Structure 1
Amino acid sequence: MSLKKHPAMGVACAAVIITLLVYLRALSCDFVNWDDPDYVLNNELIRSLNWQFLVTIFTSIPYDFYIPLTTLSLAIDYHFWGMNPLGYHLTNILFHGANAGLLVLLAARLLAFTPFSESVPVRSKLYTATLLLAGLLFALHPLRVESVAWVTERKDVLNGFFVLLALLSYAGYSRKRLAGEGFWCREYVLTFVFFACSLMAKPSSIVVPLLLLLLDRYPLGRMTRTALPALLLEKVPFFLCAAATVPATMVRFAELDTFHSPGFFPLWIRVIVTGNALFEYFRLTFFPVGILPYYDLPLAIPRIFIVKTAAVLLFLAGATYWGRRQRWVPLALWSFIISLVPVLPFLGNGASIALAARYTYLPSLIPAILIAGQFATYVAKAWADGRQLAARLVCGGTLLVLLAYGGVTLQLIGVWQNAGAMWSRVIASHPFDRAYFYRGLFHVETGDYAAAVADYTACLDLFAQESRPEVYNLYAFRGEALALAGRYGEAVADFDRAIALFPHRLYYYQRGMALRKLGRLTEAERDLQRAGRASGQMTWFPAGTPLE
């Protein structure tokens, strides 16, 4: 099916416009102090858009992952916008809008292989509504907000852009293959190129070859016993390309010492934490209430996690049984789960994140299409059977769901207005030490030093409960905030505690400056001599950092 002069093109444009209008609010959002400093604010790499920059990003791994295309996009933003966050958010919004349009086009191609195409005429209003529903179910869902309104998650929207192009090309390639055309064609090459680009935006798309095989089974209908070897053969380049990203990522994680050891994170805990994550991903997909910017993984695993893991197993068993009669169910379910595999806690990398809304960006693509297709199939059948009231109620209910999604999305965009709003949202629902620390950083930056001291104190109290070895950092950061607030005596006391635990030169410098303000010049000069060349704002020193 060619999409030229096809109604899907107009629907795609409508999906793009609606998505852009809903996300316009994100243009007023600022950077946040979580990852944005590493990727943008303090990133000297993106400030030189030249040949050496290109060589560096494509031949090295300056971040946790190999993401040269994401880095390139941020460098282009910096070239035009400098440190104005509006431009970075605009790029995120434009990519997300484009993804909504691409999803509509993908829905038109994939649904053509399903019973939907037999019951819903292409030129009908129901067909138009179905394609628009697919695009908006994905684009307006509140779980998308984190990927769009957070500058650092350019990775998600850029990765999604290339994955959608790859899937769209693959649908075209499959149509040609089913028509008897040759193996090597433009669509096959484009699928591979777009897939490779997606990996260079964010390596989580290593699962795309498996998604292609799922699509081969349903709805494309290419997978038979005799065709299976050929289908696997055509995926070999994709699997090799995906496999090439794994060693680089593992080596980088090992360099950063971000893998949890089996002793610290045993297998049974990984299983339970993963079960909890899947439960929450399913819950938030169907009932997107209580979405937070950060879900901290508790040190003591709650018993409710075990209950949720059992519920997930029962759900999977029931869905598998139901899928024997409804072929779209296994595709929706397993495309969602397989796409989550690279980010599930079972792999146990160093980030203590229980789950994250942004991780659902890629997993939600195919389910949105299938759910929209089932909506249209039901409405068409109900109308044909004379159950017009039921059809109208389903259409009205679906419209209300989309409106609710849009309303919650608009509200959640405000959570990303700045770091203070973001961490306040986390603290209000799920307070933990680092949330107070990062909000304290925000208060220092905005000059609210009393609020910063209060947050650092709350963080210190939580650190003390867990006997965390890096507590000296918090004494130092609180000491800096106290000094900025003019409370020099209290600042000196905090730096005394920090130096007793970790006598870093920067701490001597900060204490020396506070002592000067108190008129204790002899002690101040002694500290400043010990500080040597160390000066400037406070920084976090992980446990084991060598003293300078």
Structure 2
Amino acid sequence: MTGIRKRTVLLFFLATTVVVYGNTFLNDWTYDDVPVIVQNPDAHSLKGFVENSRPGRPLRELTYIPEYHLFGEKPAGYRVQQLAWHGMNGFLLVLVFGLLGVELPYALLGALFFLVHPLQSESVANLSHRKELLTLFFSLVSLYGYVKAAALAGGRRVAFMAVAVAGYVVALLANETVITLPLLVILVECYGMPRERRILLRRPLLLAVSGAIAAAYLLYTFRGFIRPEQLLTIYSKNSFMASRSYLPLFMGSMTAFGFYLWKIVLPVGLAPEYTFRLAESFLQPWALLSGTLLVVLVTVMVRAARRLPLLSLGIGWFFVFWLPVSNLVPVAYLAADRYMYLCLPGVGLALAVLLQRLRSAKVEAGFCAVLLVLAVLTAIQNGYWRTEHTLWRHAVAVNPDSTWVQETVALSYLLTDETDKAVAHAREAIRLNRLNTRAYLTLAKAEERRGNLAEAVKNYEFFAAYGGMEYPSEAADVQASLPALRERLALQKTNLQ
């Protein structure tokens, strides 16, 4: 690809990103934006960054510093950089696909699938999820450098290999889930590179040392997740407290895998939070079906290796970045749209390979129509991220079985002084998980506004007794205010008599 053509492709992807995601400029701070950006001194200045008062993902914090100086607490200004990273990721995918042997028109189509898919809305529309965009960008820089290095010799090989290593290190600073990138490099050597160009697979000792270093880093980074408490954390998020065994988590991970495949095909009903019905049983139809689909995809990957090696690479790409978020080792949420940001390029590669193999004008036209539909759905999904209220009120319609969603939407209604709805959703959150202490706090505040002081005191007392571990400052405030509230309740009872 010539320099002029590269610039044209880059501008095309940046323009497409603005068209599809431009309505996010109207959006307010949502989800984790306030604690990650607005209230985080590490993201406001280099001095604060060095002090590191809130340890997190350093690369993401660095990118916020110039924006904070330029735009302060106005989120619209932050979105210029947000959209730029996403557009550049689409452009880099075209370059990487091209290096692997995908012709330009099909590389463009595969990268566009990645760019406009509604599952990307969470990562692009929510500023605190910039970590996903940064991780993919530097992962692609690393992969591009590695593939170029394999095709060169002498000083140029050393230079591109340095780019590959540096890209990987920086990607890790953005998000540690990219730890599996070396597995993708191995798959690239297996399925996307002639034998004579291979580096790791032709040097077993180098491969073994690299694997040992990656394994050691992996164990160190995720050491805190290999604990029974982490397992219970995931179970609690899914309102499941009936078991401490690993089986419910494994079956839930399988169900989530099928859920991802379904949302890739039909990306509607998306939300920032999903829950799954967990059970300590092998007889779970959706989990078994999802596990079967996983086996089928692995089989296709293996069997397609000779005739369509890049199809195998695309499937393998998906698996490589699904593994860290699969919760086969308990990490966080069983499913989240943002977890697909690193996985979808693999789907885009697989689709590009299939389109190139078919070379059918009708199929290509149909695919372009699908891309247009996906772009429209993405623009609609961006709108749900307009404010905290629109986000969670949509989320509760999509996922009413989540205690966290019910509790958060209860707070949303409380903030708009719709106390009856706040009470209803807070009670539903408690019904789903009686240990959701924050729901008791929201319920208490709503009941107090409604003048139901007896219910308010009862729920404040529960929060003060059990909410201190998760919310120490708020529990202390409630404890301090309870005597006055009890006096008001006593006076109310006296007046009623």
Q: What TM-score results when the alignment is normalised by the length of structure 2?
A: 0.85
* Same amino acid, percent of matched pairs: 24
How far, CA to CA, are the matches of 2:334 and 2:484 in structure 1? 41
The structure 2 residue matched to 1:478, chosen from 439, 443, 467, is 443
The structure 2 residue matched to 1:511, chosen from 469, 477, 482, is 482
Query: One-letter code of the match for 1:284?
Result: K
Q: CA 1:413–1:323 in 2, change beyond 3 Å: closer, same or farther?
A: same
Deviations 1:161-220 (A, max 9, x none): 11111112122212214xxx4685110001100110000000111111111111112222
How far, CA to CA, are the matches of 1:276 and 1:256 in structure 2? 21
Unpaired runs of 5+ residues, structure 1, are 118-126, 380-390, 524-548
Does residue 354 (structure 1) correspond to residue 334 (structure 2)? The answer is yes
Q: CA 1:135–1:317 in 2, change beyond 3 Å: closer, same or farther?
A: closer
How far, CA to CA, are the matches of 2:410 and 2:404 in structure 1? 9
**8 Å CA contact retained: 1:8, 1:131:** no
How far, CA to CA, are the matches of 2:312 and 2:262 in structure 1? 18
How far, CA to CA, are the matches of 1:455 and 1:428 in structure 2? 12
Report the equivalent of 1:38: 35
How far, CA to CA, are the matches of 1:256 and 1:270 in structure 2? 12
CA offset at residue 275 of structure 1? Answer: 2.0
CA offset at residue 400 of structure 1? Answer: 0.6
Report the equivalent of 2:239: none
Q: CA 1:345–1:245 in 2, change beyond 3 Å: closer, same or farther?
A: closer
Report the equivalent of 1:378: 358
**8 Å CA contact retained: 1:104, 1:135:** yes
Q: CA 1:497–1:19 in 2, change beyond 3 Å: closer, same or farther?
A: closer
Matched residue SS, 1:337: helix
How far, CA to CA, are the matches of 1:287 and 1:77 in structure 2? 35
Does residue 419 (structure 1) correspond to residue 413 (structure 2)? The answer is no
CA offset at residue 148 of structure 1? Answer: 0.9
CA offset at residue 378 of structure 1? Answer: 2.2
**8 Å CA contact retained: 1:273, 1:346:** no
Report the equivalent of 1:9: 7
**8 Å CA contact retained: 1:92, 1:148:** yes
Query: One-letter code of the match for 2:8?
Result: G
How far, CA to CA, are the matches of 2:429 and 2:7 in structure 1? 52
Query: One-letter code of the match for 1:266?
Result: S
Matched residue SS, 1:228: coil
Unpaired runs of 5+ residues, structure 2, are 236-241, 469-474
Report the equivalent of 2:86: 96
Query: One-letter code of the match for 1:355?
Result: A
How far, CA to CA, are the matches of 2:467 and 2:84 in structure 1? 47
How far, CA to CA, are the matches of 1:485 and 1:43 in structure 2? 35
Report the equivalent of 1:533: none
Report the equivalent of 2:265: 286
**8 Å CA contact retained: 1:192, 1:238:** no
Query: One-letter code of the match for 1:161?
Result: F
Report the equivalent of 1:531: none
Report the equivalent of 1:439: 409
Does residue 77 (structure 1) correspond to residue 74 (structure 2)? The answer is no
Does residue 200 (structure 1) correspond to residue 173 (structure 2)? The answer is yes
Report the equivalent of 1:271: 250
How far, CA to CA, are the matches of 2:466 and 2:97 in structure 1? 59
Report the equivalent of 1:530: none
Matched residue SS, 1:334: helix
CA offset at residue 508 of structure 1? Answer: 3.5
Report the equivalent of 1:328: 310
How far, CA to CA, are the matches of 2:8 and 2:39 in structure 1? 42
The structure 2 residue matched to 1:456, chosen from 398, 421, 426, is 426
Q: How does 1:47-62 map to 2 (within 5 A)?
A: 47=44, 49-51=45-47, 53-54=49-50, 56=52, 62=55
Matched residue SS, 1:328: helix
Q: CA 1:174–1:235 in 2, change beyond 3 Å: closer, same or farther?
A: farther
How far, CA to CA, are the matches of 1:324 and 1:424 in structure 2? 49
How far, CA to CA, are the matches of 1:319 and 1:370 in structure 2? 10
Q: CA 1:356–1:501 in 2, change beyond 3 Å: closer, same or farther?
A: closer
Q: CA 1:18–1:457 in 2, change beyond 3 Å: closer, same or farther?
A: same
CA offset at residue 97 of structure 1? Answer: 1.3
CA offset at residue 106 of structure 1? Answer: 1.9
Q: How does 1:102-113 map to 2 (within 5 A)?
A: 102-111=92-101
Query: One-letter code of the match for 2:50?
Result: L
Q: How does 1:254-265 map to 2 (within 5 A)?
A: 257-260=229-232, 264-265=243-244
How far, CA to CA, are the matches of 2:273 and 2:83 in structure 1? 21
Q: CA 1:491–1:222 in 2, change beyond 3 Å: closer, same or farther?
A: same
Q: What TM-score results when the alignment is normalised by the length of structure 1?
A: 0.77
Matched residue SS, 2:414: helix
Matched residue SS, 2:151: helix
CA offset at residue 267 of structure 1? Answer: 4.0
The structure 2 residue matched to 1:222, chosen from 195, 209, 214, is 195
CA offset at residue 242 of structure 1? Answer: 7.2
Does residue 240 (structure 1) correspond to residue 221 (structure 2)? The answer is no
**8 Å CA contact retained: 1:23, 1:93:** yes
Query: One-letter code of the match for 1:36?
Result: D
Query: One-letter code of the match for 1:244?
Result: Y
**8 Å CA contact retained: 2:41, 2:49:** no
Q: CA 1:50–1:312 in 2, change beyond 3 Å: closer, same or farther?
A: closer
Q: CA 1:322–1:189 in 2, change beyond 3 Å: closer, same or farther?
A: closer
How far, CA to CA, are the matches of 1:13 and 1:210 in structure 2? 31
Q: CA 1:348–1:497 in 2, change beyond 3 Å: closer, same or farther?
A: closer
The structure 1 residue matched to 2:349, chosen from 352, 369, 380, is 369
Q: How does 1:381-420 map to 2 (within 5 A)?
A: 391-420=360-389
CA offset at residue 487 of structure 1? Answer: 4.7
How far, CA to CA, are the matches of 1:168 and 1:14 in structure 2? 20
The farther-off stretch of 217-226 and 417-426 is 217-226
The farther-off stretch of 492-501 and 207-216 is 492-501
How far, CA to CA, are the matches of 1:201 and 1:453 in structure 2? 39
Query: One-letter code of the match for 2:66?
Result: I
Deviations 1:99-155 (A, max 9, x none): 1122122222222xxxx55xxxxxxxxx4x323213211111111111111222111
**8 Å CA contact retained: 2:58, 2:173:** yes
How far, CA to CA, are the matches of 1:96 and 1:290 in structure 2? 23
CA RMSD between the two structures: 3.4
How far, CA to CA, are the matches of 1:451 and 1:213 in structure 2? 53
How far, CA to CA, are the matches of 1:415 and 1:224 in structure 2? 47
The farther-off stretch of 92-101 and 311-320 is 311-320
Rg larger for: 1
How many pairs does the alignment contain? 477
Matched residue SS, 2:52: helix
The structure 2 residue matched to 1:429, chosen from 389, 394, 398, is 398
CA offset at residue 276 of structure 1? Answer: 1.7
How far, CA to CA, are the matches of 2:9 and 2:385 in structure 1? 30
How far, CA to CA, are the matches of 1:284 and 1:361 in structure 2? 13
How far, CA to CA, are the matches of 2:467 and 2:14 in structure 1? 54
